[in-house]
A and B are shown apart, each in its own frame.
Chain A
Amino acid sequence: MRRRRAQGPRRPPWTGPLGLFHAGSSWLHRVGPGPKVAGLGVLGIAVVALTGVVTTLALALVTVATAVSARLPLRSTTRAVLPVLLTAATVGAYQVWQRGPAVGLEVGLDLVTLVLAATVVTATTRADELLDALVRGLGPLRRVGLRPEVLAMAIGLMLRAVPGLLQTATEVREAARARGLERDPRATLAPAAVRAVARARSTGEALAARGVGD
């Protein structure tokens, strides 16, 4: 712990419970997670099912307009979409060369449209709201034996375990470095995995001791 602090305030890869969400007050922020995910599903089907340059361009324009209306910070949105823009440009150029401009445009634009739309949904919806919606949506599965509250519990336990396991991974890596074995994955991964199982065991006992899950 002390070592990490000495290196200065470096942002951990684990960025907190809100994830890739960006706070805001646009209409997209106010719509519930259910309709947004449903809309994304419809767009996904439309992008795959409808072919042709005109529809491809129309869907891309609608998506861009929606993204602009969400008023998200430009930098983080660009950072999320940039890798797929590069992929789309590369593959689009390849397809223009191999199969003509119509196919190239469609393949490239479809890719960007879907990823941009999904990025907007993720950025305007809090992860915990989305997970709550998932738990509610799985309610009917109660009849086949999957209880939604068990799923909610599992999500909570998982989120709680991530920072602890990250710290374990860091400790194990430092222990391996002290022995000169940091390049040997067995010296870093095996102890981390064994300690994860030990952690799961003690979590299970703690839950059982509190009468959870009976």
Chain B
Amino acid sequence: MSAVPDEGTTPEPARPVLAARSATADLALVSTFAAFIAVCAILPAIVLPGMAVPITLQTFGVMLAGLVLGPRRGTLAVLLYLAVGLAGLPIFAGGTGGLAVLGKPSLGYLLAFPLAAALAGYVMTRLSSVRRSLLPLGAFAAATLASLLLIHPLGISVMGARLGLSPAEAITAGATFLPGDVIKNALAAVVATAVFRAFPDLLRARR
């Protein structure tokens, strides 16, 4: 793939260090990332050649929140996103929303999101002192760990229980999301690295 020029990714000039670590700055980061996940979920899906299922970016936004904000703030951002979506704003994948998602077989995936953001953020924090050239790889590992340990197991078991499927049937049905997830995690890793390059303090001051 060709190199992407970096203009447009320059941060705002003159950021006082003072505000960077306050509770107010955290509040702004958490609510902005909750909105970012919402925007990712309602943007038109990306259709990649050779892929059966079009990719919505909902899980990408969740993973990015965890990677960029760390376990505590990342989890809060995802919880805020879920609360506002459950309250009836159409910000879940495909422009859905409201309490109806609680009855759908895909509930387990939503329940796993805050946990996945926490795990991805935690692993990323542990890897934050890694060499800069290895950052994308570390971020990809953190996101992949979260989706393999949390999103898919939880999503598949809830779907299996709600639809009365045997474990083997449920896993077969859930596996269709795996290829898209690999792409989304790779994207989240690349984008998180770009954010860390623009705002290095997000990687240094992690809570």
Q: Hey, which bits of chain A sit against chain B, CB under 8 A? A: 13-15, 17, 19-21, 37, 40, 44, 80, 84, 87, 91, 95, 99, 103, 106-107, 110-111, 113-115, 117-119, 121-123, 125-127, 130-131, 134, 150-151, 153-155, 157-159, 161-162, 165-166, 169, 172, 175, 179, 181, 184-187, 189-205, 207-208, 212-214
Contact = CB atoms under 8 A, between A and B. Distances in A.
Contacts of B103: 44, 84, 111, 113-115, 117-118
> Taking chain A's interface residues, is the majority helix, strand, or loop, or is none over half, making it mixed?
helix
27 contacts: A13-B90, A19-B90, A91-B164, A95-B163, A95-B164, A107-B163, A110-B162, A111-B162, A117-B103, A122-B98, A122-B100, A155-B31, A155-B80, A158-B35, A161-B31, A165-B36, A172-B8, A179-B5, A184-B1, A186-B190, A186-B194, A194-B194, A196-B36, A197-B29, A197-B198, A204-B29, A208-B18
Contacts of B198: 194, 197-198
Contact of A193 (B2, B35, B194): B194
Interface in B137-177: 162-164
B117 interface: no
A80 to B, nearest CB: 7
Contacts of A40: 99, 102
Contacts of A157: 27-28, 31-32
> Taking chain B's interface residues, is the majority helix, strand, or loop, or is none over half, making it mixed?
helix
A150 B190 CA distance: 32
The listed residue with most A CB atoms (<10 A of its CB), out of B30, B43, B60, is B43
A114 B12 contact: no
B98 A20 contact: yes
Contacts of B164: 91, 95, 99, 103, 106-107
B25 interface: yes
A19 B36 contact: no
Nearest to A185: B187
Contacts of A127: 84, 87-89
A20 B207 CA distance: 36
A114 B32 contact: no
Contacts of A193: 36, 64, 68, 191-192, 194-195
B22 A204 contact: yes
Interface residues of B, number: 69
A190 B194 contact: yes
B15 interface: yes
A84 B102 CA distance: 12
B105 interface: yes
Interface of B: 1-2, 4-5, 8-9, 11-12, 15-16, 18-20, 22-36, 38-39, 42-43, 46, 57, 60, 64, 68, 80-81, 83-84, 87-91, 95-105, 162-164, 187, 190-192, 194-195, 198-199, 202
A213 B27 contact: yes
Contacts of A117: 103
Contacts of B9: 190-191, 194
Q: Which 9 A-B pairs have the closest CB atoms?
A: A114-B103, A122-B98, A204-B28, A161-B35, A204-B25, A200-B32, A157-B31, A118-B99, A213-B24
Contacts of B1: 184, 186
